[in-house]
Structure formats: C-alpha cells, structure tokens
Chains A and B, each alone.
Chain A
C-alpha cells in the first residue's frame, strides 16, 4: 500500500510538472468560453459533447504523449529495478488518467448544472467517466507502445479520431443519419457518447447503456491484458 501511495503521488507530481493538469484545465476553460459564446440553450446541448471530447480524446492524447515521453526517459526501467510490482505502476498510471478526465468532467458538469440548468445525474456521470477514461487511457497506451516516434503517435491519434470519434460527433449533431448507428456500435467513442448522453437524461434504452459499459470494459481489458501490459514491459526493458 505504501509504495502504491508513493507511485500515485509521483504520478501527480509529474502531471503538474509536465503541465498535463494545466493543459487539461486549459481545455476545460476553452470549452467553457465556447459555451458562454454560443448561448445558454445551445450550450446545454453541447455540454455532453465537450465532456465526451475531454474524457475520451484528451485522455488518449495526454496519456499517449505522457507515456511516450516516459519511454524516452527510460524511467520505467529504473522503476522496474525497484521493489514495486508492475501492476502497481500500471494502477498508479490509470488513477492519474482517470483523475485528468474526472477533473474536467466535474468542472464542466458543475458549470452546466449551475449556469445552464442542465439536468444531469452527477453520480452516474462520474461512474461513466471512470469507465470511459480507463478505456481511453488503454487506447492511448496502446498507441504509445506501438509507435516509434512522436509524429506517428499524433498520426495514429488523428486516424482514431477520424474513424471513431468524428462519426459519433456528427451523429450527435444530427449531421449524419440513423443508418450509421449500427456501424457505430463497435466504436468506443460512440459507446462513451451514449453513456454521457444518458447521464444528461437522454432517452436511451438501459440495455444499450449496460451493453456500452460492458463493451468499454472488454476493450479496456483486452487492450490492457494482451497489448499494453506485455508490450509495455518489453519496450521498457529493451530500449
């Protein structure tokens, strides 16, 4: 327990020193500005979308970049020659990823309740953000263990956005129609979007939401267990 504590504290120290918390906060403030600019009623509709972008896309980018730099600095290798287990290292990283997503979701969520009268199930939102952030952290980790350099990491993240996130966003905005929905079922972005919408009171069947949560759980587990964990360890050691 004591070492897990040390690891988590270390993660937070680095989130601050590497300006990741600040960047995350900056992005939230940016959304907020946009919300005030577009006006109260419109803003209420956009809030779930902003939370979605922060919890999913920002998580992928920040986590991917963070781990990428850590690989370059060889610090993981140094941690692995200390008595802490690899599972504790991963847990501490997931906690920091979830924190980043929660920070922005809570911030935007509270503002949307108090300033835009959004009807929001806060507890449900936080629970969902937890799942969404863990899954997207795993996606970010997957990207960062697969690539060799930073431009490729960015490119991969862009591809992910175009293939998964944008269609969901367009769908949410009504730009693309219902036929797409069947395709979107396999998209972690879409599952996330549905869950967040649901927390904001959208009429979505409970079955679909349970399915979405389970789907994200499976994606996180499969990526974590079969890609991130083994590759992470291998890359950390051999580079």
Chain B
C-alpha cells in the first residue's frame, strides 16, 4: 500500500531544556489507515505529531512524505493536511463561526462550515463567543478547524480529550467516516478505547522510544488471555480462583467447584489493551492522565 509518511531514525531534542523527547524512532503511515500513536503523558506523542506537521524542523533522521523529503515541501503541504491540536486554538472574542470562517479562507479548498458545525453539534452555538464555550465545545471546534480544508490527511492530538461519552462517540464516528472516504488519520492518544475502536495500527511509545508497532487484534492475540474468575464459599469464607477459558469444560478443579460449592460470582473476561499497554511499556497509562 502507498506510504504517506516514512520515518527513519527520528530523534528530537528540545533545545531549551535539552530534553530528548524522541530517541531514534522509525515507522511508516500507509494511505487510508488510522495510525495510532499511543503512550503515557510525556512519551513524545505530541512531539512526533509536531514534527510530521512541519512545526518542529530541527529534527535528526529522515522523514519522507509521499516519497519526497518532508523538508522539500513548502506551505502548500498544508492544503492537504488538517491538524487538530490538543489544546483549544481559537480567538476567544470571536464567535465559533467567525473563527472557522477566518481559518477557512486561508485555504484553496473549503468544506461546508455549517455542515461540520452541525455534525459536531455546535451549529446552535455558532454565533456565541468561543470564550464562552466549554472545554468540550472548544475541542469539538478544534475538530471542525482540522476539517475546514477538506484534508486528505488528518492529524489529531487527543481529539476526544475532555469530551463526554456522547460527543466522544460523535467525533469517533466522524473519524471513521473520514477514513471510509479515503482519508488517512494519524492520531495520538492515551485512551485505549479510542485505539481499540479506531486504529488499524498502533505505535506504542514511551520515554521517546517506540516499544512496539502492531494492530489491536494482533496484540490481543499475543498478550491477551481469555479467563474466568470464580468466587465461591468454602468453610464459611469467600474464596476466588481464576481459570483459563480454553477447554474449561475439561478443567476438573473448575467443575468440582461448580458442583460442590456455593458460587457467588462468575465473570469471564479478556486482557484489556490497558493491561497489554502496561506489559509492553512497563508504565501505567493512567498515572497522570
């Protein structure tokens, strides 16, 4: 499949405080896929995105965009790219609509602003000052901002951050639509749900290093385990035991417990990507989320 980005041995150090945010990472992004960059806070997700969208230029290593060095592209690069930032990026004393109209005019191609506002549920609030929007509303406006130029590639940094489940669902739905229309998405997140629901491939990143690149399915097969937890009464006390779901019907201990004890609860489950994440990176993603 055609490669949109090909990144080789990318390193980046913030000059100001000499923090090496990325250490020799390599990956590629293919046309039409949703590529997730997943990692704990401070892992280097935003840094990676800022480099790919040409905001940080003094990196080490090679980045090719559509087979050419990224640095050889001028400002026209942005005609095809939509960027959703992790923080609100609007003029607070302009209305939502005024903000979007201003940014839209900077491009050759335009999407229908009202249509986008309607999709994210902001049409009714389009004439209110953005300064009066809630955090979730600002984040939805960020998404509209990213889509203004009808982009081919969408960069989303924590796009569902601060959204309630309903609005997060709407944004995820729009990301899926974008993908089905042939778009490529690069999204960074620390939320496993997002990754599981949206991503074709994921790069696990922590401490500026890519620990693993994989698909959600592959990871679950590799690290995941299907299990049954049983709680039962034994000699007046509650005991619990975990069994492998494979061939459970031939597991004598499990069958004995079922036959001879009073069962309090039975749960089946599978290792979540959360657990896998901890295994892969050795870090807890929700530490400081």
Which residue of B55, B91, B105 is within 8 Å of A77 (Cβ)?
A: B55
Q: For the complex, is B232 an interface residue (Cβ under 8 Å from A)? A: no
Indicate if the CB atoms of B103 and A82 lie closer than 8 Å.
yes
Write out the residue numbers on chain B whose beta carbons fall within 8 Å of the beta carbon of A77: 55, 85, 89
Indicate if the CB atoms of B81 and A81 lie closer than 8 Å.
yes
Chain A residues numbered 71-108 whose CB sits less than 8 Å from any CB in chain B: 73-75, 77-85
Spell out B's residues near A (CB within 8 Å).
14, 16, 50, 53, 55-56, 75-79, 81, 83, 85, 87-94, 98, 102-103, 105-108, 145, 149
Write out the residue numbers on chain B whose beta carbons fall within 8 Å of the beta carbon of A73: 88-92
Indicate if the CB atoms of A6 and B93 lie closer than 8 Å.
no
Which residue of B16, B92, B106 is within 8 Å of A79 (Cβ)?
A: B106
- Complex Cα distance A17/B99, Å? 12
Indicate if the CB atoms of B102 and A81 lie closer than 8 Å.
no
| Shortest CB distance B210–A (Å) | 22
Task: Count A interface residues, CB 8 Å.
Answer: 22
Q: For the complex, is A238 an interface residue (Cβ under 8 Å from B)? A: yes
Write out the residue numbers on chain B whose beta carbons fall within 8 Å of the beta carbon of A238: 14, 16, 56
Indicate if the CB atoms of A17 and B93 lie closer than 8 Å.
yes
Interface centre among B89, B107, B145 (most CB of A within 10 A): B89
Q: Known interface pairs A6-B106, A81-B83. Does A74 touch B89 (Cβ–Cβ under 8 Å)?
A: yes
**A123-161, CB under 8 A of B: which get 1 and which 0?**
000000000000000000000000000000000000000
Closest to A80 in B: B55
- Complex Cα distance A233/B108, Å? 24
| Shortest CB distance B22–A (Å) | 15
Q: For the complex, is A3 an interface residue (Cβ under 8 Å from B)? A: yes
- Interface of B: prevailing SS: loop
Write out the residue numbers on chain A whose beta carbons fall within 8 Å of the beta carbon of B106: 3, 6-7, 79, 82-84
- Complex Cα distance A6/B108, Å? 12
Please give me the 4 A-B residue pairs with the lowest Cβ-Cβ distance, nearest first. Answer: A78-B89, A82-B106, A6-B105, A81-B83
Write out the residue numbers on chain B whose beta carbons fall within 8 Å of the beta carbon of A7: 106
Indicate if the CB atoms of A237 and B56 lie closer than 8 Å.
yes
Q: For the complex, is A13 an interface residue (Cβ under 8 Å from B)? A: yes
Closest to A89 in B: B106
Interface centre among B87, B106, B149 (most CB of A within 10 A): B106
Write out the residue numbers on chain B whose beta carbons fall within 8 Å of the beta carbon of A75: 89-91
Indicate if the CB atoms of B75 and A84 lie closer than 8 Å.
yes
Indicate if the CB atoms of A10 and B102 lie closer than 8 Å.
yes
Indicate if the CB atoms of A83 and B92 lie closer than 8 Å.
no
Q: Known interface pairs A18-B93, A81-B55, A85-B75. Does A74 touch B87 (Cβ–Cβ under 8 Å)?
A: yes
Interface centre among A17, A79, A81, A238 (most CB of B within 10 A): A81
Write out the residue numbers on chain A whose beta carbons fall within 8 Å of the beta carbon of B78: 81-83
- Complex Cα distance A14/B91, Å? 8
| Shortest CB distance B159–A (Å) | 15
26 A-B contact pairs sorted by A residue (CB < 8 Å): A3-B106, A6-B105, A6-B106, A7-B106, A10-B102, A13-B94, A14-B93, A73-B88, A73-B89, A73-B90, A73-B92, A74-B88, A78-B90, A78-B145, A81-B78, A81-B81, A81-B83, A82-B78, A82-B149, A83-B79, A83-B106, A83-B107, A83-B108, A84-B75, A237-B55, A238-B56
